[in-house]
Structure 1
């Protein structure tokens, strides 16, 4: 099996690649892996340090010339490539539309013309908008509230359209908030941990009562592999972690893990259009055999230990 992993040097994509190269993924033994990554600020070859046996190509999924070189001969494309930070999308949405919409369309077209067997689009629960209670099933329509989420929703719709129009085997996964090692320190958990380790304050948006479901990156990648192995063409699969916390509750856990107290917290103005609560119904992927395996308390403790032990990885990223 020949797998092209786009965005494979980023946080989630590199976890997926490391798992494949470790050789402990049933059904993917002996897979030949190509990583395509633009190496923007969030892409980092250090995330794959110590691994060989894969081919790396630096390039943009919105560049048809690059795709013409790497897509032909591929059996499976897994697209992790995306601009992902909501705050950045509020400041400059153009980059998000270019990568998350135009880039996905360009990648879809390249896979269609090359006759790739399966295309999997890695998306987000943020496309659903905000839900006051209950959980979204995959049948709920997208109602995105941020430029980032709108761009990801647009990509999802393009993927489903390519399935319906051209008969392509396209599958979409929508995950909840990821955490774990190698996450760029702009996202809440690595931002708070690295700030606290450096003796800096941490910013808490608004009243801190926005709710997120937390999913360890290893569980997310396990779910993606399951959808590749057992999912159906043209279908969407939610992947959740099963641990809902308010941002304030999460902050308390991070303070405790880093030996800090609430004097380090700075209340800041809320993000424009800040979704109040996310929650995905994972019954559909459970039917394929999925269940999150990483206990949140253990996973968070391991994540904090990793950042504490690896300042040489994250400190240059913060200063840049």
Structure 2
């Protein structure tokens, strides 16, 4: 393979994927609506087609322009998007759908491709766009990939858990980087042992390329940090990258309720362990970046670009009110 079409490609996962493909001598075309700055606008190795990926005709125009060997679908958020894409790209060497670890519908530890059941998806959920139905919609896209493969389409799915790294616009990791960098004491929901596996964005890009080159049509592949760490250990990694330390006030749901907070209000907190088995993608040659290195790059990028917490995360004033109360107990 030497030509690729990236549906998406200018913001986060797609941006790193384009770089990964260029590093492996692909000719790349990106297909976006043009709503965001294009970091590859001055790179003559990257062509761009503008259009709406929800329009099958626009997808077909992008295919004709790029004539790709491999297609990477980074922005398919509803099942009908995947259905249209597997039709338009039915004869490419590889169609790789970016799914999600959220597509799993059982709290197995770890979650395994082909063994752990997927979320169901109703007709109403399939056309929704709220976070509550995200996993269901991604799972429905997985099933469309499997069905397409049965009729001869070289379609595969990649399931990452929470993705972090430079250019992450969700600001989930940025919340904790800012807290550790700017404050001596922070509130941690629970006892710090909750486990929500993450994956460094450059590793997602590598996994996507490997699946396109070496994967089997009709299969799904988990990609994730090979060393999954607790929230507490993640804070250690952030502090090490910053060359600092931070005191932690571990809090119960009852204590958080004093200031009308819940553990789920904190970024990267999840009640049940979320761990993906990455054995299958490792058999294709996948390795993840050492955690200290990945976190150092992430922290440097977040600090350089002044990334802070998302608006829906707990604010520092509320956190300090809780710390004051707990300090009197």
Q: TM-score, normalised by structure 2?
A: 0.74
Aligned to 2:30: 35
Structure 2 counterparts to residues 3-152 of structure 1, below 5 A: 3-21=4-22, 23=23, 25=24, 29=25, 31-38=26-33, 44-46=37-39, 48=40, 51-72=43-64, 73-82=67-76, 99-112=77-90, 115-129=91-105, 131=107, 133-143=109-119, 146-152=132-138
Aligned to 2:143: 157
SS state of the match for residue 86, structure 2?
helix
SS state of the match for residue 78, structure 1?
strand
Taking a change above 3 Å as real, the CA distance of residues 287 and 196 of structure 1, as seen in their structure-2 partners, is closer
Taking a change above 3 Å as real, the CA distance of residues 191 and 139 of structure 1, as seen in their structure-2 partners, is same
Aligned length in residues: 285
Aligned to 2:152: 167
Taking the aligned partners of 2:74 and 2:59, their CA distance within structure 1 comes to: 15
Q: For residues 252-304 of structure 1, what are the alpha-carbon distances to aligned partners after superposition, in whole Å with 9 as ceiling and x for unaligned? A: 54355444634799953143995512212222222222222x11012101211
Structure 2 counterparts to residues 226-237 of structure 1, below 5 A: 226-237=210-221
SS state of the match for residue 308, structure 1?
helix
Structure 1 stretch displaced more, 266-275 or 63-72:
266-275
Taking the aligned partners of 1:138 and 1:45, their CA distance within structure 2 comes to: 37
Structure 2 counterparts to residues 173-252 of structure 1, below 5 A: 173-184=158-169, 186-194=170-178, 209-252=193-236
SS state of the match for residue 218, structure 2?
coil
Q: Do the aligned partners of 2:200 and 2:294 also contact (CA within 8 Å) in 1?
A: yes
Q: Do the aligned partners of 2:5 and 2:68 also contact (CA within 8 Å) in 1?
A: yes
Q: Do the aligned partners of 1:15 and 1:221 also contact (CA within 8 Å) in 2?
A: yes
Q: For residues 216-236 of structure 1, what are the alpha-carbon distances to aligned partners after superposition, in whole Å with 9 as ceiling and x for unaligned? A: 222222222111111111111
Taking the aligned partners of 1:211 and 1:15, their CA distance within structure 2 comes to: 26
Taking the aligned partners of 1:7 and 1:127, their CA distance within structure 2 comes to: 20
Taking the aligned partners of 1:81 and 1:127, their CA distance within structure 2 comes to: 15
SS state of the match for residue 72, structure 2?
strand
Taking the aligned partners of 2:218 and 2:32, their CA distance within structure 1 comes to: 26
SS state of the match for residue 142, structure 2?
helix
Q: Do the aligned partners of 1:126 and 1:144 also contact (CA within 8 Å) in 2?
A: no
Aligned to 2:319: none
Taking a change above 3 Å as real, the CA distance of residues 211 and 12 of structure 1, as seen in their structure-2 partners, is same
Taking a change above 3 Å as real, the CA distance of residues 57 and 255 of structure 1, as seen in their structure-2 partners, is same
Taking the aligned partners of 2:187 and 2:6, their CA distance within structure 1 comes to: 34
**Offset at 1:119?**
0.8
Runs of at least 5 residues in structure 2 that lack an aligned partner in the other structure = 122-131, 312-329
Aligned to 1:254: 238
Q: TM-score, normalised by structure 1?
A: 0.76
Runs of at least 5 residues in structure 1 that lack an aligned partner in the other structure = 83-98
Q: Do the aligned partners of 1:130 and 1:277 also contact (CA within 8 Å) in 2?
A: no
Aligned to 2:272: 276
